Amino acid sequence: DTEVTQTPKHLVMGMTNKKSLKCEQHMGHRAMYWYKQKAKKPPELMFVYSYEKLSINESVPSRFSPECPNSSLLNLHLHALQPEDSALYLCASSQVGTGSYYGYTFGSGTRLTVV
Amino acid sequence: AQKITQTQPGMFVQEKEAVTLDCTYDTSDPSYGLFWYKQPSSGEMIFLIYQGSYDQQNATEGRYSLNFQKARKSANLVISASQLGDSAMYFCAMREINNAGNMLTFGGGTRLMVKP
């Protein structure tokens, strides 16, 4: 299995809703990532998990709450979002290490619209 | 801090011709990796090619090749024999490794449009 699976593919939520994005991989990768991508912009790193521990938080607002319950699963819990949080949310995974090549595998993303 | 620059917001190429997408980077780390990704309108990021900072030869993957000029800090993507399906956004990215883990930082992207 060489895929990263993200669900749902599309999500529309109100500003008072609570929702979660899910990301799953079975490649044995021990690093997982959340990226946010606005239209016509590059992906921006939000969070990095390494060996199921949060290692990087790029000053993301607390209304985004990541969770890594096990080595295959990564969640992003959403609460009290703003319309400007509407974006494509991409999950990725990779091996951990300092070798010459550790490729990233991306999921197909969740298109989030906050109304 | 590292920085990735793609100076071509958009490019046109005639079908079956070759095209070069530019990427320059800036880092003080001696060990780094450079990636190119393709993103069609569907949104998924498709890995195309990788070049390590210590690799002596330019990377090639089918119709894709990477023109790596380390002294100039450039890593241009060359697509040979363009196809209509190559129309997409293309991102150059650099991997940084620190104690916190791997970080992949993207350039601003180039939108490639292939004309029939």
Which DSSP string do the residues of B2-38 spell out, in sequence order?
-EEE---SEEEEETTS-EEE--EEE---SS-EEEEEE
Q: Is B101 close to A102, i.e. CB distance below 8 A? A: no
DSSP B38-65: EE-TT---EEEEEEETT-SS--EETTEE
Predicted pLDDT of residue A101:
59
For residue A87, the surrounding DSSP H or E stretch is strand A87-94
Condensed to tens digits (0 to 9), the pLDDT of residues A13-24 reads 999 999 999 999
How many residue contacts between A and B have a Cβ separation below 8 Å?
71
> How far is A44 from chain B, CA to nearest CA, in Å?
7
For chain A, say whether B104 makes contact (Cβ under 8 Å). Answer: yes
Report the alpha-carbon distance of residue B67 to residue B60 in Å, rounded.
9
> Chain B contacts of A106, Cβ < 8 Å?
37, 44-47
Distances (CA, A) of B43 to B18, B30, B108: 24, 32, 15
Least Cα separation, residue A15 to chain B (angstroms): 24
In the predicted structure, residue A45 carries a pLDDT above the cut 70: yes
Residues in B 4-43 with any Cβ partner in A closer than 8 A: 31, 33, 35, 37, 42-43
Contacting residues of A for B46, CB less than 8 Å apart: 106
Q: Which pLDDT belongs to residue A104?
A: 87
Taking CA–CA distances from A42, the nearest residue in chain B reads B108
* pLDDT tens for the 116 residues of chain B, in order: 669 999 999 999 999 999 999 999 998 888 888 999 999 998 989 999 999 888 889 999 999 999 999 999 999 999 999 999 999 999 999 987 766 667 889 999 999 999 99
Nearest to A103 by CA among A39, A5, A44, A33: A33
Q: How many CB atoms are located within 10 Å of the residue B48 CB?
A: 19
Give which of B72, B6, B1 is closest to B35, Cα–Cα: B6
